[in-house]
Structure 1
């Protein structure tokens, strides 16, 4: 047996769970860094006298950076390793947050938001892949869900800290604290984060065997672990082009469509629910409370998906979550006139939709071989961001054209059903999907 098979079929060691926790902490800081602008938008708008359009540019800058980071930093990881990608991405995120704390113009702030977004996009790819590769088959879905839950926790904690920090020290302190925390994370990763097992065995960089055996010893696997025969490629193709080879084309298109549909639905619900409920008659406090319930449900849903996917087929559980999300979106909006029902069903909507995102993170790395895995994961996440970017804008356009909020949520239900169909096509490819 090789080390890859041993990891897949053995109980997870404390060292492996420590890697999962490191990934979750990186994702937690991502949640803080990404939503820092949402926490400070009012203060920034007042200080710089921004119009709504100019503030929108700032929000778009972060999303643009995240998309670019997922698309263009991911192939870097398949060339030089997952560890260098994560170190670079965390450094970019820290630098972007630090620069944001000392700006004198909103255009400069937009530049630093792009830099922060680049880092966050790279972190999402690297943490997804390395968590998957260091987890056993039995615990892989749950481990990825623990890592995915970090984002929602970071967002909630960031919101609470932002209120206190802004009241005492102003909005710039939020970014400065984010930079310090992310910098400390970089130092910890520099000492403790290992390289990917699959990268070492497939690419076999210098001293790969020595590194492999040190990592194996930390996981409790004694012995002298040899590298498999290295497969030399006779035709050098860009990793991106390999995503569209006959081997991967159907799976690539299916997972991309599922990502776009699920990201569109999740970001619509996250972005528009408080505003629509306030417009429907709730107070500001009530509408924000329902929005927080959706975030709270999202954290619980990520963990629930992991537990269920550990017992049954990860793909089948994800399909059930997409169907449940579609149904619950309709029930939620039809019951939103009653606060306690809106809170209850808001938790369920958040849980099911964020569970869907965890499911995509679980399935995505398993589709691609180790030599193009980061590229495959990065491009799936990056393309999925198209849905996230389109969701608020499309919803606004439909509202301007006279759509009622009930119609919007019913539309979201249909979008979720599109993801169900895409996943069914992906299921037909299961015999060709590689095990991580």
Structure 2
């Protein structure tokens, strides 16, 4: 009788080259987040048309955007524990279908009240998709490349938002805002069958849940053809904790790190959203034209893609807490410097580029930091709750920006004040690195190493 081999799934993924199937998983993750970015950005493109056609006020439009963000926060918080219980694939596919369906419904809105409700429902699906697809991709990524791979898929967000802008410039003048909104819902609905067909469940999740060996073996054979024997059982390193996912996230071993992740992501998204939303208004106050304000804001957003890739690359090469702390620190200093560069449009654009690269890049890197901090059985919950708490920071940024404008503060004073949340991000990352750096997947294994099948 052939002896059953014990195969450490973590070691297998970490020691093998990136396969074609893993690259497919990465592409599917990129596509889901691109659809997410397209859908989230839609309201910005149709807002001027809604003001003209429906006569809605800025306050009403702000309420539509805010309710979507509230949906995003709640969707993230509720979906994480479900993904750690039912599986990442089920939650991802259902969330993509959910936000696609409600975006199509939004295209048929007859008034602002209906749109507020539909965008809230859409937000629930959008909030569930992003953290869970990043969790699944992280569990297929070799740890030596995990941070970079996660930042790659999150570049899909800016890609999707940019595609939305180009599409809006063509569709809205010809067919109206309803067509853009309908497209934003039809695309994810069409993508659902592809996810059902090609997206695998996380093998690490399946091992933790003691799924049938045949199910795990079938996925691994697609990942590494010809390298997986039939008579094999699958294991992971001894998990450092056990129990309910939310209890793990808030357990004494993980509590401090969890609170620091929440603090940093809250302040990080607060900064990104307050600058992204209010930068055009702020720079117009110092005499820039509408065109110059738009160019500066576009440059700020464009820096995010380069910054995200750089943050992921750096996190895989040095201590990730030091990498993110340094990037947040540079971003905070450059953001404060914007307040003292009002005399030069060129310098303003350069500082906006660096600020956008650092702040957006560091926030993307937080997803990789979260993925490497939590054990498999609580990874989706940890990541999703970090997203949910962070979205609260994004929501509050809208009110904070309006309040700063209402107070009629000086240009340089506004940007000096933004140094406070930037400082808190640096302190939070540093504190987590000192007291809760945690590498749960690197717990010594009691199982044998990878064996090549004969």
TM-score bucket of the superposed structures, by smaller chain: over 0.9
Residues in 2 aligned to 1:204 and 1:105: alpha-carbon distance in whole angstroms: 50
Runs of 4+ in 1 over 6 A off after TM superposition: 229-232
- Is 1:389 aligned to residue 390 of structure 2? no
CA distance in 2, matches of 1:34, 1:197: 30
Cα offset, 1:168, TM superposition: 0.6
User: What secondary structure sits across from 1:403 in the alignment?
Assistant: coil
**Cα distance, 1:304 vs. partner?**
1.3
Match of 2:351 in 1: 345
Q: How do 1:109-258 residues align onto structure 2 when only pairs under 5 Å count?
A: 109-205=115-211, 207=212, 209-220=213-224, 221-224=227-230, 225-228=232-235, 237=244, 239-258=245-264
User: What residue ranges of structure 1 are gaps of 5+ in the alignment?
Assistant: none
1:68 maps to which residue? 74
Where 1:298 maps in the other structure, the secondary structure is helix
Residues 243-273 of structure 1: CA deviation (Å, up to 9, x unaligned): 2211111111111111111111111111111
* 2:417 counterpart residue number: 411
CA distance in 2, matches of 1:432, 1:383: 21
Q: Residue 51 of structure 2 corresponds to which residue in structure 1?
A: 45
User: Shift of the alpha carbon at 1:235?
Assistant: 9.3
In structure 2, how many angstroms separate the alpha carbons of the residues matched to 1:144 and 1:129? 9
Inter-partner Cα distance in structure 2 for 1:210 and 1:108: 48
CA distance in 2, matches of 1:107, 1:269: 28
- 1:129 deviation in Å? 0.3
Offset, 1:370 = 1.3
Could you give the per-residue CA deviations for residues 213-256 of structure 1, whole angstroms, max 9, x where no partner exists? Answer: 11111111422441339999x9964x323322111111111111
What CA distance in whole angstroms lies between the structure 2 residues aligned with 1:311 and 1:153? 26
Q: 2:10 aligned with 1:4, yes or no?
A: yes
Q: CA RMSD in A?
A: 2.0
**Aligned-partner Cα distance in 2 for 1:431–1:63:** 30
- Measured after TM superposition, the shift of residue 378 of structure 1 is 0.6
- Paired with 2:437 and 2:53, the residues of 1 have a C-alpha distance of 57
How far, CA to CA, are the matches of 2:11 and 2:242 in structure 1?
A: 28
* Structure 2 counterparts to residues 12-27 of structure 1, below 5 A: 12-27=18-33
Do the aligned residues in 2 keep the contact of 1:325 with 1:413 (CA within 8 Å)? Answer: no
- Structure 2, unpaired ranges of 5+: 1-6, 443-454
Distance 1:372 1:121 in 2: 18
Deviation sequence 1:280-303 (CA, Å, 0-9, x none) = 111111101111111111111111
Point out the more displaced range, 30-39 or 1-10. 1-10
CA distance in 1, matches of 2:242, 2:162: 48
Query: Could you tell me which residue of structure 1 aligns to residue 325 of structure 2?
Result: 319
Contact in 2 for aligned 1:74/1:122 (Cα 8 Å): yes
Corresponding residue SS for 1:227 = strand
Which shifted more, 7-16 or 418-427? 7-16
Which residue number corresponds to residue 271 of structure 1? 277
How many residues are paired up? 433
In the alignment, what sits opposite 2:3? none
Separation of aligned partners in 2, 1:18 and 1:405? 47
Distance of 2:161 and 2:281 partners within structure 1? 19
Counterparts of 1:5 and 1:350, CA distance in 2: 37
Query: Offset of 1:60 from its aligned partner?
Result: 1.0
Mapped partners of 1:307, 1:431: distance in 2: 19
Find the counterpart in structure 2 of residue 31 from structure 1: 37
CA deviation digits over 1:15-63, x for unaligned, max 9?
Answer: 1121111111111111110010111011122222222322221111110
CA contact (8 A) 2:72 2:127 kept: yes
Counterpart in the other structure of 2:295: 289
Deviation at 1:430, TM superposition (A): 4.7
Higher relative contact order (CA 8 A, sep 6+): 2
Q: Indicate the SS of the match to 1:275.
A: helix
Task: Measure how far apart 1:314 and its partner are.
Answer: 1.9
Q: Does structure 1 conserve the Cα–Cα contact (< 8 Å) formed by 2:339 and 2:413?
A: no
Deviations 1:352-383 (A, max 9, x none): 11111121011002221111111111111100
Correspondent of 1:303 among 305, 309, 316: 309
In the other structure, the counterpart of 2:386 is 380
- Higher alpha-carbon deviation: 353-362 or 81-90: 353-362
